Amino acid sequence: MDLENLAPLEERLNYTFKDKSLLVQAMTHRSYLNEHADFPYPHNERMEFLGDAVLELVVTRHLFLNYSNPEGELTNWRAALVNAKTLAGIARQLNFEEFLLMSKGEAKDANSKARMYILANAIEAIIGAIYMDGDWEAAEQFILDNIISHLKFILENELHIDPKSKFQETAQELLGVTPTYKVLEETGPDHAKEFTVGVFLEKELVAVGKGTSKQEAQIAAAEEGLKVKGWQVKTV
């Protein structure tokens, strides 16, 4: 990545870096260094570590100062704002994916769960880089403009309610039925299992989900079930 040609990326982020190397670091995935041993900058995991903390504090402070809701509700709102799916969606809206430095293998895998986490981590790394380059106010403004701005949408569409709870509440309200979950298949060795879980309404198999744990697979099944039934499931 050319340090002199970062203007298009900075324009998308609406922030101009004094130290361009911080932005390059934020955009560098660990896998890139495996193929470019002479690359002069580190990967973005340390920057992501910093950005994650800044993001959580800015969001927490904003919710605390602007809403009088109970702690439990604010916790759910914060989780919906900062989870990987939300952050990856925001990354795609900012359209900076082409600037990410990844291995050839990672670059090809555009629609995987791994890519979702790479994008989410890059958002956090960018926040860390802005904080280091500018100050608290610059990082806070980026978070307000690009992340907290989605709170209204999240609340209106109940995205702060996890898919299992949403599916259960809707099924009970509309059908008087409580969903059940059943493991349909387990594959892989013990250290790397993948579970396939079905969500049922009485005897009806509504949807199937996969995950590396039973809980993850249940959430995926519930999310798919919401889509199948047309019971509101939107993304940022």
Task: Give catalytic residue positions.
Answer: 52, 124
In this structure, which amino acid lies at residue 73? E
User: What per-residue string of b and e applies to 47-69 under the rule 16 or more CB within 10 Å gives b?
Assistant: bbebbbebbeebbeebbeeeeee
- Contact between 133 and 124 under an 8 Å Cβ cutoff? The reply is no
Instruction: Tell me the C-alpha to C-alpha distance, in Å, between residue 78 and each of 57, 143, 151, 160, 163.
Output: 10, 12, 9, 8, 16
- Contact between 115 and 31 under an 8 Å Cβ cutoff? The reply is no
Name beta bridge partners: 180.
200
Tally of CB atoms within 10 A around 46: 12
Tally of CB atoms within 10 A around 184: 15
Strands 194-201 and 180-187: antiparallel
Task: Give me Rg for the CA atoms of the chain.
Answer: 20
- Contact between 228 and 206 under an 8 Å Cβ cutoff? The reply is yes
